[in-house]
Amino acid sequence: MKLSQADFKQRRNLLAQHIGSNSIAIIATRAEMYRNRDADYKYRADSSFYYLTGFAEPEAVAVIETFAEGEEYSYSLFCRERNREMEIWNGYRAGIDGAIEIYDADEAYAIDLLDEEIIDKLLNKQRLYYRIGQNAEFDARVSQWIQKADAQQRRGGAAPAEMIQLDRIIDEMRLKKSAKEIELMQIASNISAEAHTRAMQSVKPEMMEYALEAELNYIFGKNGCVPAYNSIVGGGENACILHYVENNKPLKDGDLVLIDAACEYEFYASDITRTFPVNGKFSPEQKALYNIVLDAQLAAIDATRIGNHYKYPHEVAVKILTQGLVDLGLLSGNVDELVESEAFRQFFMHGTGHWLGMDVHDVGAYKHGEDWRAYEAGMVVTVEPGLYVAPDDETVDAKWRGIGIRIEDDVLVTENGPLVLTKNVVKTVEEIEQLMAG
């Protein structure tokens, strides 16, 4: 399943409405990234640029111009020209003709002509929308264009009087997902769930973390996907390092392994974390902490509902985690006071979720002014509480030290309550142990 050019055009239509008459919006894709000598990272287009264009090649700029009230807008695409020699080395290009015939541009130009052609498009526009601060080099180019447009005053031209942050509009457009976007995210979630299931079935003591990561990557790759972010495969105390990505240690009998890994399908991400025993059986201490995290996660998912504010699921999770820590003796005192003083941060030091979409940490404001924004249908958020007992934390009994647990799912906000997109991978103690027992 893929988005069609009609889907991208619909987005451009909406953007044109947002920017109003006699305005211009300019958006560039990201640059290719140098990896090491004579080698780049595999290219991935900028999410917001692709969101509007469906164009995945590097060195491209999209321009949307509106005119008088009621007139049609114009969409121009600046891109690389066809070049037989370069295509032999690096692959085919759409070129100028392809930009119009395949990608539905009204006008197309060679990217080398951008500095020349953009001036006429800027002249006498009231407002310029572009992604201010995204790229210093592009900011400098825009400044030069404004200066050149202003220099046309004697000939009756002028640069736009207003310059407005384009991201504020596109980010809000991207925040609430369409039915097709949700379908793509569901596919990504299903593939990622399959990968986590394979990891649970494949793990064994003394296996290397990177070997377990390879099991995930196999499922991603065979389904035409890439990792949506750097995979975390942390055995034992490595699970207490929130962004552990070295994945180069052996998995020990008796330890847990925390896997935070998921794929991207057709530019849409998923994000799953599961924690399970290397030998297939939770110890009493591991089980006790795990069930606290699971209870917190289930309650936080249930709190992810229309009308509740963004931070409410986190508040729900924190109270359950804190109560559980008190019950086990890792914290002492009144639960409400411990929550108020954030004593729980000794063991839970991150938020409970983030927006998810084309980016794994997706765009969209979390607040309106000073207030956390309310959930609306079509938003997708992760729900990921955890507990991490540092291996050198001498304030707690040694039996708890070095245990790190996180459980994460992707949740779609709907009119009928929260819908867990990543439900296909098990997460109760009983389900995990049964799956791992074969």
What does the buried/exposed string (b/e) look like for 68-101 if buried means 16 or more CB atoms within 10 Å of the residue's CB? eeeeebbbbbbbbbeeeeeeeeeeebbbbebbbe
Using a 10 angstrom Cβ sphere, with 0-12 exposed, 13-18 middle and 19 or more buried, the burial of residue 193 is buried
Q: Which of 209, 237, 271, 409 is catalytic?
A: 271
Q: Of 181, 215, 384, 410, which residue is the catalytic one?
A: 384
What are the angstrom distances between the C-alpha of 270 and each of 101, 183, 297, 403? 32, 12, 17, 25
* Plot region of 267 (φ>0 → left; ψ -120 to 50 → alpha; else → beta): left
- What is the separation, in whole angstroms, between the first and last Cα of the chain? 33
Catalytic residue among 37, 38, 84, 430: 38
> Is 271 in the active site?
yes
Burial class (CB in 10 A: 0-12, 13-18, 19+), 281: middle
- Adjacent-strand bridge partners of 419: 412
* Residue 242, both tokens: 């929130």
DSSP 165: E
Q: From the CB of residue 399, how many other CB atoms can be counted at a distance below 10 Å?
A: 12
Q: Is 354 tagged catalytic?
A: yes
Active site residue 350: yes
The span from the CA of 377 to the CA of 171, in Å, is 16
How far is Cα 311 from Cα 305, in angstroms, rounded to an integer?
11
| Helix pair angle (114-122, 136-150), 10° resolution | 50
Report the distance separating Cα 99 and Cα 215, nearest Å.
Answer: 39
Residue in 104, 406, 409, 410 annotated catalytic = 406
Which listed residue (104, 194, 213, 408) is catalytic?
408
Burial of 149 (0-12, 13-18, 19+ CB in 10 A): buried
Confirm whether 38 is a catalytic residue.
yes
Catalytic-role residue among 255, 312, 388, 409: 388
For residues 381 and 353, is the Cβ–Cβ distance under 8 A? Answer: yes
Active site residue 384: yes
Is 406 assigned a catalytic role? yes
Task: Decide if 361 is catalytic.
Answer: yes
d(CA 149, CA 156): 10
φ, ψ of residue 233 in degrees (nearest 5)? -130, 90
Q: Which of 260, 359, 362, 409 is catalytic?
A: 260
Separation between Cα atoms, residue 62 and residue 29, nearest integer Å = 8
Is-catalytic flag, 408? yes
Phi, psi of 107 (to 5 degrees): -135, 150
Positions annotated as catalytic residues are 38, 243, 260, 271, 350, 354, 361, 384, 388, 406, 408
